[in-house]
Amino acid sequence: MTAVRSRMLSAAELDGFGAELDALRERIVADLGAEDARYIRNVVKAVRYTEVIGRALLFIGIFPPAFILGSLLLGISKILENMELGHNVIHGQYDWMRDPQLQGKTYEWDIAGTADSWRRTHNFKHHTYTNVRGMDDDIGYGLLRVFPEQRWKPYRLLQPLYALLLALYFQWGVAAQELEVGLVFKKRKTWRELWQEFRPVGRKMTRQLVKDYGIFPLLAGPFFLPVLLGNLVANGIRNLWTFTIIFCGHFTANAELFPKSSVFNESRGHWYLRQLRGSSNLKGGRWLYIMSGHLSHQIEHHMFPDLPARRYALIAPEVQEICARYGQHYNTGSLPRQFGQVLGRIFRHAFPSRPPPRQALVGA
Amino acid sequence: MPSAPHAVRRPAATRSRGLRRLLQPFVAAEVFDFWARSIHPTLAWDRILARVVEHRRESADAVTLVLKPNGNFAGFLPGQHVNVSLEIDGVRVTRAYSLTDVPRADGLLSLTVKRMTGGRVSGELCERTRVGTVLELGPAFGDMTLPRQLQAPLLLAAAGSGITPLMSLLRSLAAQGMPVATTLLYWTARRDERCFAAELAALSARFPQLQVHYLLTREAASGADESEGRAHAEQLAHTVPDLAQRRVYACGPAGFVETLRALTADRAAHFQAEAFTLPELTADAGGAVRVHLARSGRTLELPRGRPLLSSLEENGLQPVYGCRMGICNTCACGKLDGSSQNLRTGSRSDEPEQALKLCISGPCSDMTLDL
C-alpha cells in the first residue's frame, strides 16, 4: 500500500516540495502563448467537424455502416467537447487568452449537467478538497463505497450494479450530483428546496434532450429512428468513457483518502502533496491523452488545474522527478491496469472492509 | 449630438434583430460563428468583426486603417471611440481608438493609430496589419460629441494622437459647411508627426471661418501657421482672443488636458476633454486606489497590492468565491480597466481581463471591476 511507497515529509521538505512545484507552474505560465491558442482552436475545430460529419452520417443511418460510423463520430465529438474542451475551458485554463468564447466563467458544454453546477462541485469542492472524506462529493459520487473508510451498509452489496448504471447514465449522475437527492430522504432538505435547485438543471437537461432526441431526429424526417438511436449510442459511448477515465483518476488501489483535519490551515506544499497522493495517472499514447482531456495526467491536472492541459504531458517527467526526489510515489499505470484496480475497489468494498492504519503526510 | 446629416447609421442587419431574437434559443453563438467564418471572414452572430480594407501611412509614425464592419456594428457619432481587439501571441488585447471619419453611407470606418514606442497593440496595427486582417470591435462610446444645435464658435485643441476624435468632429463640421467659426490648435513634437496635414490645409483653404494653428514642441517653427512650445496663457490669448465665447474640446495625454483645463475651463463658454493615459508604473507603492464597481455603481478606496476579494469583503461586499487560493476560478470577475497584480506570481496585467481571480489579485492602479 501507499503507506510504504511514500515517505513522510518534514515540514521543511514539504515547503521545498511546494516551492519547486510553484516554480514549475510559474515557468509554464510565463511560456503560454500562440502554440497553446492554436492547440485549443484545433480542438474546437475537431469537435465541430466530427459533430457535423457524425450527424450527417446518422441522417443516412438507415445504412448500417453510416449508422455505426456516425454514432462513433458523434460520440467522439461529445467526448472531445466534454473532456478536452469543456472540462478544461471551465477550469479557466484558457482564460489568459481573453477569448470571450473560451472563458471558464461563461462556457457552457454539451452535456446534461450545467456548467454552473460543475464549477461548484468540481472546480471548487473536488479540486480544493480532493479525496477529503466528507468534503469531496466525488468520492464514489455519493453512490459507491470505494474506500473502506466509507460506512458499509447492506445495500452496498449490490453496488457493482449501481456502478454499471452510473457508468451508462454518467452524464445524468453528474447533472444530479449537486442536488444531493439523498438529503431529502434523510429529512435534511425539503422537496421544495430540491425543486428550486432542480430548475436550472432541469432546463439544461430539457435542452439536451430536445436537441439530441427531438430536433435532430425530426430534421431527418422519415429517418427519425436511426438518428434518435445514433444520438443514444453516442451519448452512451461518451458516458462509459468519461466514467472509466474519471474513476481511474482517484479510485485506483493506491489512491489515498484524507480526514477532514488534513485541510485545516493547509500549506501550499501539503495541498500539492494531497493532490499527488489522491490522484492516479494513465500511461498511454497521445490519443489517450487527448481523448481523456489529459485526465491521463490526473496528478498534473490536480496540481495545476488551470494550466492548459496539453502542458501536462510535457511537464509530467519533471513532476515525476520532483516526486522521486522527495520519496513520493507517483501513481501511474496502463488504462486496463488502473481500471482493473477501480473495479477491484468497487467489488471489494461492496462487502464490509476495515481501513488500514493511516500515516500522516507530514512528520512532526 | 450632431445635427441631422450624421444621424446614427442603421445598417440592414440591425433590422433583422427581431428574427435573431426569435432564433436565439436555438443557436449557440460560438457554433454559429465557427461555421459562419468559413462563409465570410466577418460573419458573426452578435460579435462586431471588421475587415481592414485599406492601410495607409498618415504621418511619420501613424497609419490610418479603413475598416468594413459587419452588420452588428450599430453606428457611431463623430468624436466617439471603439474598443479594438486583436490577438497577439495567443492573447487578446484591447485598446480604445477614436473613429476619425464621419459616419459614411458605405459604412466604412477609419482609425488612425500612432505607433507608440514599445506599444504592442499600436505596433501590431501599424506594422503587421494588412488588408484583409479581421479585427474585433466593441460598440461606439464616448460623449465628446458636437451639440445638436451649433451656436458658439469652437476651439479644438489636440496634442499628438489627440487629433483623432477632433478630426472626426472637424470632418463632421466640414460636411455641414462649417456652420460656426472654428479654430484648431494642433500640437506635435515634430512636423513629420502631424496627421491629416494635406486635408487640414485643404479644409482651411476651403473654409475661411476655419483657422488651423500648428504647434511644435521639439522643432523650430517656420511656417506662418506654426509656433513653438507647450500651451500657455499668452499664446492662447494671442491665437484665440475670443476664448470667452468659445466651446472648447481638448484631447491628448493627461498632462496636456490638465493644462488646457487650467487655461480655459473657467474662461471659455464650455469645456470638454478626453485624456488618454498610460498605465501608471508605480506598482508596489503602498496606499489606496479607487476601485469602481461597474454594475453596482459603487466606488471604493481599497489598499494597493492586497487581495481584492478580502478588501471587497471588508467593505461589506460578498462576491462569490470558492477556494480563496487561485485554483477554482469561482471568484473570477471581469476587469474593465486598470492594472492588477497576481499576488502569487507577482506578474502584472495592464489589460482589461474577462476573468480576474479576485482572491489572488491586488490592484496596482485605479480600476473598474464588473461587479
pLDDT in tens, A198-215: 999 999 999 999 999 999
B86-114 burial string, b = 16+ CB within 10 Å, else e?
A: bbeebbbbbbebbbbbbbeeebebbbbbb
CB contact under 8 A, A127 and B35: no
Per-residue pLDDT band for B330 (boundaries 50, 70, 90) equals confident
Are the C-beta atoms of residues B289 and B365 closer than 8 Å to each other? yes
Residue B363's SS3 state is strand
Are the C-beta atoms of residues A232 and A207 closer than 8 Å to each other? no
Per-residue pLDDT band for B327 (boundaries 50, 70, 90) equals confident
Name the residue with higher pLDDT: B314 or B20.
Answer: B314
pLDDT at B278: 53
Q: Which positions ≥6 away from A190 have C-beta within 8 Å?
A: A184
pLDDT at A136: 92
Name the average pLDDT for chain A: 93
All cell numbers assigned to A341: 484496480
Q: Which positions ≥6 away from A195 have C-beta within 8 Å?
A: none
Position B45 pLDDT exceeds 80:
yes
Assign residue B326 a region (left: φ > 0; alpha: ψ between -120 and 50; beta: otherwise).
left
Per-residue pLDDT band for B277 (boundaries 50, 70, 90) equals low
Greatest mean pLDDT among A315-319, B89-93, B119-123, B143-147 lies in: A315-319
Name the average pLDDT for chain B: 88
For chain B, percent of residues with pLDDT exceeding 70 = 93
CB contact under 8 A, A92 and B355: yes
CA distance B66 to chain A (A): 24
Cell 483535519 found at: A261
Closest C-alpha to B2, from B101, B148, B142, B104: B148
DSSP output for B96-151: EEEB-S---TT--EEEEEEPPTT-HHHHIIIII--TT-EEEE---B------SS--
Chain A contact for B205 (CB, 8 A cutoff):
no
pLDDT at B309: 93
CB contact under 8 A, A98 and B322: no
Position A56 pLDDT exceeds 80:
yes
Q: Which helix (H) or strand (E) holds B225?
A: none
Chain A contact for B31 (CB, 8 A cutoff):
yes
Per-residue pLDDT band for A364 (boundaries 50, 70, 90) equals low
All cell numbers assigned to B9: 447609421
Chain B residue numbers with beta carbons less than 8 Å from the beta carbon of A97 are 87, 90-92
Residues of B numbered 269-328 whose beta carbons fall under 8 angstroms of chain A's beta carbons: which are they?
322-323, 325-328
Are the C-beta atoms of residues B213 and B227 closer than 8 Å to each other? yes
User: From the candidates B329, B343, B347, which should be mutated to test the interface with A, based on the most A CB atoms within 10 A?
Assistant: B329
pTM of the predicted protein model: 0.87
Per-residue pLDDT band for B344 (boundaries 50, 70, 90) equals confident
Chain B contact for A120 (CB, 8 A cutoff):
yes
pLDDT at B279: 45
Chain A contact for B38 (CB, 8 A cutoff):
no
Phi, psi dihedral angles at B72 (to 5 degrees): -80, -10
Q: Which positions ≥6 away from B211 have C-beta within 8 Å?
A: B181, B182, B183, B184, B204, B239
pLDDT at B13: 46
CA of residue A352 relative to chain centroid, distance: 27
Closest C-alpha to B156, from B182, B191, B128: B182
Per-residue pLDDT band for B16 (boundaries 50, 70, 90) equals low
Q: How far is CA A117 from CA A174, A214, B94, B230, B312, in A?
A: 9, 25, 31, 59, 25
Position B179 pLDDT exceeds 90:
yes
All cell numbers assigned to A322: 520532483
pLDDT at B282: 46
Eight-state DSSP code of residue A213: I
CB contact under 8 A, B329 and A99: no
CB contact under 8 A, B351 and A98: yes
Position B1 pLDDT exceeds 60:
no
Work out the burial of residue B142: count CB atoms within 10 Å of its CB; fewer than 13 is exposed, 13-18 middle, 19 or more buried: middle
Chain B contact for A53 (CB, 8 A cutoff):
no
Q: How far is CA A299 from CA A124, A283, B160, B211, in A?
A: 17, 12, 54, 70
Q: Closest residue of A to B89, CA-based? A: A34
Closest C-alpha to A307, from A88, A134, A160: A88
Closest C-alpha to A146, from A362, A364, A345: A345
pLDDT digits (tens, 9 = 90+) for A218-267: 999 999 999 999 999 999 999 999 999 999 999 999 999 999 998 888 99
How far is B198 from B58, CA to CA, in rounded Å? 10
Position B324 pLDDT exceeds 90:
no
Of the listed ranges A218-232, B51-65, B302-316, the one predicted with least confidence: B302-316
How far is A282 from B7, CA to CA, in rounded Å? 63
**Residue contacts between A and B (CB atoms, under 8 Å):** 91
How far is B135 from B243, CA to CA, in rounded Å? 41
pLDDT digits (tens, 9 = 90+) for A95-109: 999 898 999 989 999
pLDDT at A178: 87
Cell 451656436 found at: B151
Position A144 pLDDT exceeds 50:
yes
Q: How far is CA B333 from CA A358, B292, B370, in A?
A: 41, 13, 6
Residues of A numbered 306-335 whose beta carbons fall under 8 angstroms of chain B's beta carbons: which are they?
306
pLDDT at B186: 97
pLDDT digits (tens, 9 = 90+) for A9-31: 999 999 999 999 999 999 999 99
Chain B contact for A105 (CB, 8 A cutoff):
yes
Q: Closest residue of B to A24, CA-based? A: B345
Q: Which helix (H) or strand (E) holds B90?
A: none
Per-residue pLDDT band for A48 (boundaries 50, 70, 90) equals very high
pLDDT at A1: 43
All cell numbers assigned to B185: 490648435
All cell numbers assigned to B368: 473598474
Phi, psi dihedral angles at B237 (to 5 degrees): -60, -35
Greatest mean pLDDT among A33-42, B262-271, B288-297 lies in: A33-42
Of the listed ranges A16-20, A32-36, B8-12, B199-203, the one predicted with least confidence: B8-12
Per-residue pLDDT band for B132 (boundaries 50, 70, 90) equals very high
CA distance A30 to chain B (A): 9
Strands lying side by side in the sheet with B210-216? B226-228, B210-216, B182-188, B154-159, B247-253, B270-276
Position A2 pLDDT exceeds 80:
no
Q: Which helix (H) or strand (E) holds A314?
A: helix A310-325
User: From the candidates A108, A111, A124, A302, which should be mutated to test the interface with B, based on the most B CB atoms within 10 A?
Assistant: A124
pLDDT at B8: 41
Q: Which helix (H) or strand (E) holds A283?
A: strand A281-283
DSSP output for A60-73: TTTSHHHHHHHHHH
Closest C-alpha to A19, from B362, B326, B345: B345
pLDDT at B285: 62
- Averaged over A332-354, what is the pLDDT? 96
How far is A349 from A252, CA to CA, in rounded Å? 13
Q: Closest residue of B to A32, CA-based? A: B90
A261-293 burial string, b = 16+ CB within 10 Å, else e?
A: ebbeeeebbbbbbbbbbbbbbbeeeeebbbbbb
Beta bridge partners of B211: B183
- Averaged over A138-152, what is the pLDDT? 91
pLDDT digits (tens, 9 = 90+) for B187-227: 999 999 999 999 999 999 999 999 999 999 999 999 889 99
- Averaged over B88-114, what is the pLDDT? 93
ipTM confidence? 0.85
CA distance A47 to chain B (A): 10
Please, what is the angle between helix A170-177 and helix A191-210, to 10°?
140
CA distance B313 to chain A (A): 19
